[in-house]
Amino acid sequence: MIQLISFLLIGALLLVSLYSFMRREQRAEGGSGALIEARQALNTLQAGLLPPELVGRIFARGDLEYVEAKTSKEIRELFLEERKKIALSWVSRVRKQVLSLRRFHLRSARFYAQLSVRTEVALAVDFAALLLECRALQVFMYVRGPYAVPRMVGSTAATATRVCKISEQSLAFLTPAYAGRMGNRAARS
């Protein structure tokens, strides 16, 4: 029975992945569009995704406290609803940029014969963790509102620490010439 299930599963998995392969969106690659997209993602991420003041403002408890103290229950609910929409939109934008960054990395990395499997796996795990954190934030914010952000600090901090540790090892290779070349190419396109 186990044998039957495993063979059925392999066959079904192959057919499902074939179906998704045929439906896969054929995005433009390598051209000016991809470079501009990558450049935009790069800029957004390098600038810290969103200005910290704005992030602080979206999630500031002061506004809620003011509304709770000075207005009626209806106004409070309306405020929370609006703030939830803004918070969800912010997380969704973060997620979109992370996805864009991953796409850019993968489209560049695939050309290298000396591609390191270990590095790629580590990056894949980090990306997955980051995307999962974004999704979890979305779910918690959707269910419990913008101010009920779950205590995910521990796990998020661990991801960030791991990412930073790995990046320290190869920071020396990030030459200014490379950044300049990227900039010139993007400008040309």
Partner 1 sequence: MLSLIIWCCGIALEALLVYRGFRAKLLTKYSNFYGYIFVLLVSDGLGLPLYFKNQRLYESWSWFGGFVILFLGCGIILEIFRHVLSAYAGAEKIARFAGFVILGAVLGFAIVYHFFVTDPAAAKALYYRLQRDFLTAQAILLFGLLQVISYYGIRMGRNLKGMILGYGQTLGVTLIALALRAYIGVRFEPTWGLIQQISYVAALTIWLVALWSYCANPEPEATIGPDGDYEALATRTRSMVGAASTELIKVNRL
Task: Tell which positions 81-120 bind partner 1, by CB under 8 A.
Answer: 91, 94, 97-98, 101, 103, 105-116, 119-120
Q: Which residues of 53-82 are buried (b: 16+ CB within 10 A; e: fewer)?
A: eeeeeebeeeebeebeeeeeeeeeeebbee
80: contact with partner 1 by CB under 8 A:
no
What is the spatial distance between Cα 43 and Cα 11, in angstroms, rounded to a whole number? 44
What is the spatial distance between Cα 82 and Cα 105, in angstroms, rounded to a whole number? 35
What is the spatial distance between Cα 187 and Cα 189, in angstroms, rounded to a whole number? 5
143: contact with partner 1 by CB under 8 A:
no
2: contact with partner 1 by CB under 8 A:
no
142: contact with partner 1 by CB under 8 A:
no
156: contact with partner 1 by CB under 8 A:
yes
Select the span of 51-59, 65-73, 78-86 touching partner 1 (CB under 8 A).
Answer: 51-59
Minimum CB–partner distance for residue 72 and partner 1 (Å) = 26
Nearer to partner 1, 38 or 73 (CB): 38
72: contact with partner 1 by CB under 8 A:
no
Angle between helix axes 73-109 and 117-144 (nearest 10 degrees) is 170
Q: What single string gives the DSSP state of each residue in 7-27?
A: HHHHHHHHHHHHHHHHH----
C-alpha torsion 28→94→82→67, nearest 10: -160
Binder to partner 1 among 139, 178, 180, 183 (CB under 8 A)? Answer: 178
Minimum CB–partner distance for residue 69 and partner 1 (Å) = 20
Select the span of 14-22, 63-71, 72-80 touching partner 1 (CB under 8 A).
Answer: 14-22
